[in-house]
Structure formats: structure tokens, C-alpha cells
């Protein structure tokens, strides 16, 4: 089963690198959204530090939404999803590999560029460290929840709006706990409890989301 997981990851990575725009567009969108805010609201360091967590997390959510629609779309069109369902391996296990690849291509680049953007928004090291931890825990949750939304809408010709309507309510707790943790770090208050809540959400998503994705795909493909 582990070999099948690795093969799905490698196949999706090769496909993504043949279409580099699918990798670069969400990251560029994330950078552009974050860098445009200071131009619109002013460059006062105190103001930027206060709103930086909200800016970065909203931009990360929007960047994820931009990349979600193609998570299963190409495989649905060319019949790969039907082939995955016919393999002897668990469909939930195989879609976990696809969601993991999505995080590698979207969430991981966001983590890499976040130090530069944190400096641009005048965040101190303590606050940035909390921001990094929330992104590290929260972006995989977005990928898993997004996988459920994509699986529900993959058979629709224009499912992007419906996907947004599904994803935005599900992502609100992640945004709330993440920004609360970052704000607490900025004021020198303990925030490990909020990170623990995010970690519990991540564990729950890892345990249950793949099965929900698999069930949704079976309904969409049938």
C-alpha cells in the first residue's frame, strides 16, 4: 500500500511539473494578495503587525481555493478516477496521496514564502513563529477539507462557486483559531492550547476526510 501511495504522489508531481502554471499561480496569487494590502491600507508598522495574521491566512485560503478545482478534475475527465476505484487498494488511501500532493504543491510553497512576507508586514520573530506553526498545521486541514468539496463537485461543469460555498464555512474555525494563536503570541500570551485545538482538527481530518472524499467520489463518478 505504501508503494501505491508513493506512485500516486510521483505521478501527480510529474503531471503538475508539466503544467507549471498549476504550481505557480496559487503561490503568485498568495504573494500578490499579501503585498497589495499595505498599498491599500497604509504601511504603518503597528497597523501591519495588527492585521498581518488575518491578511496572510485569508490569502492562504484564497490561494488554496484557486488550486482545488483541478485536484480531481483531470483524473475525472481522462478516466483515471474510475481506474483508481478498480484497483485492489483502498480508494481512501489513494486519495490521501493526491491530497498530500496538493499540499506539497500549494501549502508547502506558502510556508516557504511566509518568512519574506512576514518581514514585509513587520512581524517580529515570536509572532512569525506562531504564524508558521499555524500554517504548518492549518494548511493540511485546508487541503483535506478542500478534497471533500472537490469530490462533491467534480462531476459538475462549473463547480467552482459551489466549491467556494462548501469550503468557506468549513474553513472559518481554522481561520479563527489560527489568528487567535498568532494574536496571543504577539501579546506574549500562551497559545499552545489553540495550537492543540488545530492539531486535534488536523488529526480528525486525517482520520475521516479521506473516507469522506472516497465516498463523495463514488457518488460523483457513478
Read off the pLDDT band of 135 (50, 70, 90).
very high
pLDDT digits (tens, 9 = 90+) for 62-101: 888 888 877 887 777 777 778 888 888 888 999 999 999 9
Q: For position 96, what pLDDT does the model report?
A: 92
Copy the grid coordinates of residue 164: 467556494
* Residue 145 CB contacts under 8 Å (≥ 6 apart), including other chains: 167, 170, 171, 205, 209
In the numeric block, the cell 474555525 is attached to: 173
Question: In angstroms, how far is CA 53 from the centroid of its own chain?
Answer: 16
Copy the grid coordinates of residue 116: 519574506
| Burial class of residue 52 in the structure, from the number of CB atoms within 10 Å of its CB (0-12 exposed, 13-18 middle, 19+ buried) | buried
Q: What is the mean pLDDT of the chain?
A: 85
Q: For position 203, what pLDDT does the model report?
A: 96
Alpha helices (runs of H) in 2-124, residue ranges in sequence order? 2-18, 21-41, 45-68, 70-78, 80-86, 91-120
In the numeric block, the cell 485546508 is attached to: 142
Q: For position 160, what pLDDT does the model report?
A: 67
Q: Where are the domains of the chain?
A: 2-221
Q: For residue 153, give the nearest of 70, 86, 83 by alpha carbon.
A: 70
* Rounded CA separation 214/144 (Å): 12
Helix (H) or strand (E) segment spanning residue 209: helix 192-221
> Within 10 Å of residue 155's Cβ, how many Cβ atoms?
17
Amino acid at each position: 500500500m505504501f508503494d501505491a501511495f508513493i506512485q500516486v504522489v510521483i505521478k501527480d508531481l510529474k503531471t503538475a511539473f508539466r503544467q507549471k502554471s498549476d504550481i505557480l499561480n496559487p503561490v503568485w496569487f498568495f504573494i500578490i494578495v499579501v503585498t497589495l494590502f499595505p498599498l491599500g491600507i497604509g504601511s504603518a508598522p503597528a497597523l501591519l503587525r495588527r492585521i498581518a495574521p488575518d491578511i496572510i491566512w485569508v490569502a492562504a485560503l484564497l490561494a488554496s481555493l484557486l488550486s482545488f478545482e483541478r485536484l480531481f478534475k483531470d483524473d475525472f475527465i481522462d478516466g483515471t478516477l474510475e481506474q483508481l476505484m478498480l484497483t485492489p487498494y483502498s480508494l481512501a488511501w489513494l486519495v490521501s496521496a493526491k491530497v498530500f500532493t496538493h499540499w506539497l504543491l500549494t501549502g508547502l510553497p506558502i510556508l516557504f514564502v511566509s518568512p519574506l512576507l512576514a518581514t514585509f508586514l513587520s512581524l517580529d520573530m515570536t509572532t512569525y513563529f506562531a504564524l508558521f506553526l499555524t500554517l504548518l498545521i492549518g494548511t493540511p486541514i485546508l487541503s483535506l477539507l478542500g478534497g471533500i468539496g472537490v469530490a462533491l463537485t467534480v462531476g459538475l461543469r462549473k463547480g467552482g462557486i459551489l466549491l467556494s460555498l462548501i469550503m468557506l464555512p468549513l474553513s472559518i474555525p481554522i481561520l479563527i483559531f489560527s489568528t487567535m494563536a498568532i494574536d496571543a503570541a504577539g501579546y506574549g500570551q500562551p497559545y499552545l492550547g489553540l495550537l492543540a485545538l488545530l492539531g486535534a482538527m488536523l488529526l480528525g481530518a486525517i482520520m475521516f476526510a479521506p473516507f469522506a472524499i472516497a465516498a463523495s467520489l463514488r457518488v460523483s463518478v457513478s
